[in-house]
Homo-oligomer: A and B are copies of this chain.
Amino acid sequence: MKTLCTEQSPGRNRETLKLRAAALVITFLVFLFPAANGRAATLLPSWNDSPRRQAIISFVAAVTDPRSPDYVVPEKRVAVFDNDGTLWSEKPLYFQMFFVFSRIRELAPQHPEWRRQLPFKAVLENDRKALRKCGLEGLKQLLAASRAGAGDTEFAAAVRGWAARARHPRWHRPFTELVFQPMLELLSYLKDNGFTCFIASGGGVDFMRVLLPGIYNLPPWRIIGSYPETVYRDGAVVRLPKLAFLDNGPQKPVAIARQIGVRPLLACGNSDGDLEMLQYTAAGKGPRLALYIHHTDAVREYAYDRKSRIGRLARGLDCAAKNNWPVVDMKQDWRVIYPAEKPAAD
């Protein structure tokens, strides 16, 4: 027997190698489809096992299990996420506004008229009170002016340059690191379960498309946002200094219908500006999940809702209570807020 075994060994070794290769391939396939693996214990690891975490997991199970009466084909598994306050922080100001102020100062030498003209004057003089008085109209003007004129490459370089050097005034970290670790896990979890995730945010779309694809692992065309008037001129799409579309409130479902063309199964936001997006999602037939993130942790992040100037959540809390939408309590539900390590920022 021993001799025979020895005789056969080259062939057997080859077969063993083949078996090992097969095992490797199978491991690789299992790795490709982690949903099928169903290790519930490691799902959403930065979430405490709260009713909100359970609501998410039950919902995903219901729409992805082919035997479930609520099963939804992958093509219809669309999820939409607000960005400011939902995927990353938004205090003391929307992060993009720090970029906008920096960019306005950078561009000021080319615009001597700004020294005498609100809201630009207020930015250049660092006059917060005057700036606040300019309200939403002032904000829209600044947003458009920060984008106008520059070509895609120049604008992307300006955004990346700012992101590399700017630091959050309280956390002293790059703004791009102040994303919510539990939400990064939720995005991955949905992707692993055949969902296509989109951002639907009030932020300027060109700004977001420079920074967010690398952070959230999605392509630029799955980011929907506010945009300026644009014209085509000599091979280029030129951005004019006037906002054409503010992606907020009832405009969010309008933009989602136009750009995605599928009513989402799941929507997640944190403010009254997201309410119509959540209502539009919830009003669809069959199972839907409308999810609010409630900022309740003044120590690890910020605590605000009904009376906040930025990220006000009042109508939304009432609507969620009335309709039994899960409201994530950041303090209770999240083990960690920000990633410990720097995420791969693009």
Chain A interface (Cβ within 8 Å of chain B)? 4, 15, 18-19, 21-22, 25-26, 29, 75, 152, 196, 198, 205-206, 209, 213, 219-223, 227, 230-232, 234-237, 250-251, 253-254, 256-263, 276, 279-280, 282-283
CA distance A77 to B237 in the complex (A): 19
A232 / chain B contacts, CB cutoff of 8 Å:
250-251, 253-254, 276, 280
CA distance A235 to B276 in the complex (A): 7
A-B CB contact pairs (8 Å), 26 listed: A15-B15, A15-B19, A18-B22, A21-B22, A25-B29, A75-B219, A152-B263, A198-B221, A205-B261, A206-B261, A209-B261, A219-B262, A220-B261, A221-B261, A223-B261, A230-B254, A230-B257, A231-B250, A232-B253, A232-B254, A235-B280, A235-B283, A237-B253, A237-B256, A237-B280, A259-B259
Chain B residue with the shortest CB-CB distance to A282? B235
CA distance A75 to B148 in the complex (A): 25
- Extra 10 A-B pairs, beta carbons < 8 Å, given A75-B213, A205-B261: A18-B19, A18-B22, A21-B22, A196-B219, A221-B222, A221-B260, A232-B280, A235-B279, A235-B280, A237-B254
CA distance A235 to B209 in the complex (A): 28
A257 / chain B contacts, CB cutoff of 8 Å:
230, 237
Stoichiometry (number of copies): 2
Among B220, B263, B276, which residue has its beta carbon within 8 angstroms of that of A260? B220
Q: Which of A198, A227, A235, A282 has the most CB of B within 10 A?
A: A235
Q: Which of A25, A196, A206, A221 has the most CB of B within 10 A?
A: A221
CA distance A22 to B22 in the complex (A): 5
- Chain B min CB distance to A211 (Å): 12
- Chain B min CB distance to A338 (Å): 26
CA distance A225 to B260 in the complex (A): 12
A253 / chain B contacts, CB cutoff of 8 Å:
232, 237
A15 / chain B contacts, CB cutoff of 8 Å:
15, 19
CA distance A254 to B236 in the complex (A): 9
A26 / chain B contacts, CB cutoff of 8 Å:
25
Chain B residue with the shortest CB-CB distance to A198? B221
The answer on a CB contact under 8 Å between A254 and B231 is yes
Chain B residue with the shortest CB-CB distance to A16? B15
- Chain B min CB distance to A6 (Å): 14
- Chain B min CB distance to A343 (Å): 17
A256 / chain B contacts, CB cutoff of 8 Å:
237
CA distance A221 to B259 in the complex (A): 6
- Chain B min CB distance to A82 (Å): 16
